[in-house]
Amino acid sequence: MPITDAGLTDCYRRIERRLYNVLFRLLWNPQDCQDVMHDAFMRVWHRREAVLETSLEPLLFATALNLARNQLRWKSLRSFVGLDDHVAATGPPHGDCADLRRALAALSPGQRKVVLLSEIGGFDTREIAQMLGIPEGTVGSRKHQALARIRKILEPNE
């Protein structure tokens, strides 16, 4: 059955927080996260006749991740500013957030997506594999490698 206004509204209420948290750990900017969420929902809404309600949530996450990736790509092409300029414009990361940001930045893009979708998005291996178009075994190995690397980075040095 195609999605309805009520179905899309219910989906938004269910996934808003998870989707925002995943996007924030990719974009690190609240306004950019809200913009990407809005664009993802609008793209799905415009294709609503072709979207089944059962595939709505994974489709929204996949659409948002693609839009976030495109935004990051454009930002890297447009901004050739020094680190001091960037910190002055966005403010320095604080405390644990800075450590998490550093750990996530050390991951490959594929590992980062898998960890964010599983640990923050709450999706299982099968759902992540469908969203990213990769085998379930690849999802499992990327998650295992990524979490091991994050632990190593976040462990206090002795």
CA atoms within 13 A on the CB side of 111: 16
- Quick one: average pLDDT of 110-125? 91
Among residues of the chain, what percentage have pLDDT more than 70? 85
**Per-residue pLDDT reduced to its tens digit, 88-99:** 445 444 555 788
Give residue limits of the domains in the chain.
Answer: 1-92, 93-158
Q: What CATH class is the domain 93-158? A: mainly alpha
CATH 1.10.405 fits 1-92, yes or no: no
Q: Which residues, in sequence order, are CB contacts of 28 under 8 Å at separation 6+? A: 90, 93, 101
What is the reported pTM?
A: 0.65
pLDDT score for 15: 94
Q: Is 106 helix (H, G, I), strand (E, B) or coil?
A: coil
**What's the sign of the alpha-carbon dihedral 66, 68, 69, 70?**
positive
Can you give the pLDDT at residue 42? 94
Alpha-carbon radius of gyration of the chain: 17
Q: According to the model, what pLDDT value does residue 109 have?
A: 92
Give one DSSP letter per residue of 58-105, joined into a string.
Answer: HHHHHHHHHHHHHHHHHHHHH----HHHHHHHH----HHHHHHHHHHH
- Burial letters 45-64, b for 16+ CB under 10 A, else e: eeeeeebeeeebbbbbbbbb
Confidence grade of residue 158 (pLDDT, cut at 50, 70, 90)? very low
